[in-house]
Amino acid sequence: MSGSTFGHLFCVTNFGESHGPAIGCVIDGCPPGMRLSEADIQPDLDRRRPGTSRHVTQRSEADAVQILSGVYEGLTTGTPIALLIQNTDQRSKDYGNLLDTFRPGHADYTYWHKYGLRDPRGGGRASARLTAPMVAAGAVAKKWLHEKHGTLISAWMAALGDVEIPFESLAEIPNNPFFAPNAGIVPQLEATMDALRKSGDSVGARIEVLAQSVPVGLGEPLFDKLDADIAYAMMGINAVKGVEIGDGFKVVAQRGSQHGDELSPAGFRSNHSGGVLGGISTGQDLRVAIAIKPTSSIRLPRASIDRAGAPTTVETHGRHDPCVGIRAAPIAEAMLALVLMDHALRQRAQCADVTLATPPIPGSAP
């Protein structure tokens, strides 16, 4: 299967299936000499893993990562880093009735037509379980970016279905299972999810991502623009149907006199662009938002067809997230980190010798 490798200089190849023995990835291109252990990776996997609250799938996976190669005496060697995560709580029997039918909104129909066969267990390769290796790889990228550039990446839930979540503080995000930056709205989110689970239905979400202390100059014209690669990365996350950079679709109603971010000796006066101009980072905060569709695997009966084309009804059993967006924040952080890591290495390779007499304006990373 092609399409399983992400990146150019920091290259991540993802492997495995939802109900196979294990999932994982191979990272090629990580610079040597960085101190790295499983303890640097596990916290982000713990934030993403299933079974952490009553509001997400109750599949119980430890998601314990093993570093199989690329690290010697605690330091990266510059050779490929292989990361392995064992699958320990598969219940493949829950999917026995889906072998000959197609779940509406899922990849069953398209995978069957593309490959001529498919793994129905938990969605196989189409499962959001395959985001775990990307979170592991993203943790490696986040560590390098922070050590070299001071970059910090945070993500939070900004809307759960039609419930808007006003932003209060990044400090609130780790204090609740929704990654909500607002403590006061958590009871409403819990009530929404409890009602949704009882109904057997699902809902979508909006996730916002922020990268701070991003170096100036990341991104390539014309087709490897930083924002283009970010959109590509975010659309590679399961269930993502929309991506915004900066003000996103709100720019339609803006005037040029409002949207263009004015500069002064003291710095940029606004950040409608989201930290990217001409596909190249400005050094301002990088702002991204993604829209996640409702979970396709729901208990409610849905009309479909079988492999012979005959009409049928599908009811999906098993353990599923009524809102896959609840666990998406660490995934969005990881994918943004992978893009920034790749472009940081590309910038270092081509433009490391570029020097300017005028330093970046305040608010831009050095």
Q: Spell out the SS3 assignment of the chain.
A: CCCCEECCCCEEEEEECCCCCEEEEEEECCCCCCECCHHHHHHHHHHHCCCCCCCCCCCCCCCCEEECCCEECCEECCCCEEEEEECCCCCHHHHHHHCCECCCCCCHHHHHHHHCCCCCHHHHHHCHHHHHHHHHHHHHHHHHHHHHHCCEEEEEEEEECCEECCCCCHHHHHHCCCCCCCHHHHHHHHHHHHHHHHHCCCCCEEEEEEEECCECCCCECCCECHHHHHHHHHHCCCCEEEEEECCHHHHHHCCHHHHCCCEECCEECCCCCCCEECCEECCCCEEEEEEECCCCCCCCCEEEEECCCCEEEECCCCCCCCCHHHHCHHHHHHHHHHHHHHHHHHHHHHHCCCCCCCCCCCCCEC
Whether 360 is in a domain gets the answer no
d(CA 110, CA 120): 12
Please tell me the predicted confidence (pLDDT) of residue 134: 98
Whether 57 is in a domain gets the answer yes
Please tell me the predicted confidence (pLDDT) of residue 364: 61
Please tell me the predicted confidence (pLDDT) of residue 363: 66
Please tell me the predicted confidence (pLDDT) of residue 61: 73
Range of the domain at 138: 5-351
Please tell me the predicted confidence (pLDDT) of residue 366: 47
d(CA 30, CA 135): 15
pTM: 0.94
d(CA 293, CA 323): 8
Please tell me the predicted confidence (pLDDT) of residue 25: 98
Whether 155 is in a domain gets the answer yes
The total domain count for the chain is 1
CATH value at residue 190 = 3.60.150.10
Whether 359 is in a domain gets the answer no
Whether 171 is in a domain gets the answer yes
Whether 362 is in a domain gets the answer no
The stretches in the chain having pLDDT less than 70 are 1, 51-54, 56-60, 89-97, 122, 318-319, 363-366
In angstroms and rounded to an integer, the radius of gyration of the C-alpha atoms of the chain is 21
Whether 159 is in a domain gets the answer yes
Please tell me the predicted confidence (pLDDT) of residue 358: 85
Whether 357 is in a domain gets the answer no
